[in-house]
Amino acid sequence: MIEKYKSIGIYDSGLGGLSVFKELFRKLKNENYIYFGDTKNLPYGDKKEDELLKIATKIFDFFDRMNVKAVVMACNTTSAVVYDKIKDKYNFKIYPLIQNLAKYIASQNYQRLGVFATNSTINSHAYSKYIKLYKNNINIFEHACPNWVKIVEENSFDEEINQNIIKNDLDELLQFKPQKIILGCTHYPFLIDVLAKYTDKNLFIDPSKCFVGEIIKDLAINDLINEQEKGSITCYVSANPKSFSKNSKMFVNFDLNPMLFNENEYFVNI
């Protein structure tokens, strides 16, 4: 098969990567997409590095078998912890979220940035590390939000107890008076309406929008944009496909019809 007509893989621990997929699909509807939500192993934020590497390697091996042209790491945690260890193992392109976003952030006139992310991403200091590769004179304040992924996955952000959790996390970071706050997990943009109750929504950076722009530029440079009239969408999850199907409709306006991934058989239909 001609390289440009191969699929683009999108990988996340669950629903969060749909924020990236939605933006990519909006701009490139003619591509063939394979979305993988690792719902069996979420949340990733508290897992150790060796466990994350083992999980990610299995999923990337699956994408390799599916003969994709690229994989989008729509997960901050794996971009922070796993990317450097697998980036040279595969023949397809890999687009890590944090590393690509860092280039965009460094090009802006920011001096004080906040970052909300999972424990693993915060502990790796990946945002500070990669942004400061391009722009060293910037202050970055990081804050872990270990409960936010669960709140999104359970669609429970209207519950008062969860709104208080979100507000308390926000207050912790606002004391540093950041010019912008990066929503450093692809689940977090789905909480923007809650965050906007307590501060200006324009304070937040949704990485998916900047990230997708970088992906499209690189695909175009390498003549990998699919020119066919209509693409396709295939979705796999590692657990709870019916729950994923139901909750994903909150974020995309069509049914993704997820198939259940089986690491021994690769997949079985639900």
Q: Which residue has the tokens 């940035």?
A: 113
The answer to whether 131 and 113 are in contact (CB under 8 A) is yes
| Residues 45-49: contacts with CB under 8 Å, at least 24 apart | 45/77, 45/117, 45/118, 45/119, 45/120, 45/121, 45/144, 45/146, 45/149, 45/185, 46/118, 46/119, 46/120, 46/146, 47/77, 47/120, 49/81, 49/82, 49/120
Q: Residue 66: how many CB atoms within 10 A of its CB?
A: 18
210 is an active site residue: no
Asked if 45 contacts 120 with a C-beta cutoff of 8 angstroms, the reply is yes
Distance of alpha carbon 153 from alpha carbon 107, whole angstroms? 33
Respond yes or no: is residue 145 known to be catalytic: no
Q: What is the DSSP letter of 261?
A: E
- Which residues does residue 113 pair with via DSSP β-bridges, in sequence order? 140, 180
Handedness of CA 176, 181, 187, 192 (dihedral sign): positive
Cβ neighbourhood burial of 137 (10 Å; 0-12, 13-18, 19+)? exposed
**200 class by beta-carbon count within 10 Å (0-12 exposed, 13-18 middle, 19+ buried):** exposed
Q: Identify the residue whose tokens are 């790491």.
A: 73
Q: Which of 75, 145, 210, 235 is catalytic?
A: 75
Catalytic positions, written as ranges: 75, 185
